[in-house]
Amino acid sequence: MSVSVNEGKNMTISRRAMLAGSGALLLSRGASAKPKLKVAIFSKHLQFLQGEDLAMATAAIGFDGIDLAVRKGGHVEPATVAKDLPALVAILRKSGLEVPMITTDIADADTPFAEDLLKSASALGIHHYRFGAFKWEAGKPFAAQLEAFKPRLAKLAALNAKYQMCAMYHTHSGVGVVGASIWDLWYLMKDLDPKLVGMNYDIGHATIEGGTGGWIDSFKIAGNHVRGIAVKDFAWEKDAKGAWKSQWKPIGEGMVKFPQFLAMVAETDFAGPFQVHYEYPLGGADGGKRTITMSKEDVLAAMKKDLDKVRGFLAQASL
């Protein structure tokens, strides 16, 4: 079949237009793609290292940043936060690490040193912090206790607004723990600005509390109040007395459904902070000990193994 000159030109122009259009579409998609999540380590697990040693080890493992324990017994003491936090953050940033958040002992706006902590963190460009650990009082109606918690959160939200901070309540599992089911936290926070008060959603603890579908429902109800995510793994095992207990495990060796969970995260606009925790036996590093009973090399190697697993799961979810 013969093709005229004009037809050939038109076909060439059409192909060029099609290729140009495809390129523009790809560029558009690339421009709108979410940046990859950056992964931080909770500094509790590196309590045996300080200053430059802390920075070098964190960078060597491969983390993007560090969630600094700024609490009693942590890397920075609340009483000296104005002096010590800027100095340590400068060391970490010099090593190319970010400090996306700090972990505190703050329960509410009246906690000692609360305003000092927020003021110091905000001045350094750190706008997220962990708070919480509310407990249910036995023998008192839950409904009344929930209402009593609300003004405490509202007052904390007002303080956060002053310093452009977001308080993230860390979700734990267990009896008598406010936030274990997540639904109680949603009720407390649903009328508050999630940019001021939200949750640090711990998928390990959430799976303990709702192993089949409860964690799915709790993540969905938490919605945009999920401001941080902490990952760890566990399995149910019998202890020496035959009682079933949750036992922490290396990432990928337990019951947490990371691919399913992270696929759900990918459907949201979550952007971090995202942290890895190490609660399984690790020579004392798991419990935040300053002296460990394993070699530093073995501890850091275990941490890197978990981080590699996490990054693999994140890649599967395009996060």
- Same domain flag for 147 and 291: yes
Q: Are residues 142 and 10 in the same domain?
A: no
Assess whether 7 and 133 both reside in one domain. Answer: no
Q: Does residue 7 sit in the same domain as residue 58?
A: no
Alpha carbons 206 and 5: distance in angstroms, whole number: 68
Task: Let me know if 310 is exposed, middle or buried by CB neighbors in 10 A (0-12, 13-18, 19+).
Answer: buried
**pLDDT value of position 211:** 87
C-alpha to C-alpha distances, 264 to 32, 123, 217, 218, 273, nearest whole angstrom: 19, 34, 11, 12, 16
- 190 and 307: one domain? yes
- What is the number of structural domains in the chain? 2
| Residue 47 sits in the same domain as residue 103 | yes
Q: What is the pLDDT of residue 132?
A: 87
Pair 20, 140 in one domain: no
Domain that residue 205 falls in: 35-316
CATH of the domain at 304: 3.20.20.150
Please say whether the beta carbons of 230 and 202 come within 8 A: yes
Check residue 152 and give its pLDDT. 96
Say if residue 60 is in the same domain as residue 4.
no
**What is the predicted pLDDT for the residue at 212?**
87
44 shares a domain with 17: no
Average pLDDT per run of 10 along the chain, which is 319 residues long? 47 46 44 82 98 98 98 97 98 98 97 97 98 92 94 97 98 94 95 97 96 93 97 95 95 97 97 97 97 97 98 97
pLDDT at position 32: 56
Phi, psi (rounded to 5 degrees) for 254: -120, -150
Shared-domain flag, residues 258 and 244: yes
Question: In this structure, are 293 and 217 located in the same domain?
Answer: yes
DSSP H or E stretch at residue 201? strand 197-202
Predicted local distance difference test score (pLDDT) of residue 243: 94
The predicted pLDDT at position 34 comes to 78
For residue 69, the cross-strand partners are: 103
Same domain, 112 and 240: yes
Question: What phi and psi values does residue 233 have, to the nearest 5 degrees?
Answer: -125, 160
CA 39 to each of CA 66, 68, 272: distance values in angstroms, whole numbers, following the listed order: 8, 13, 8
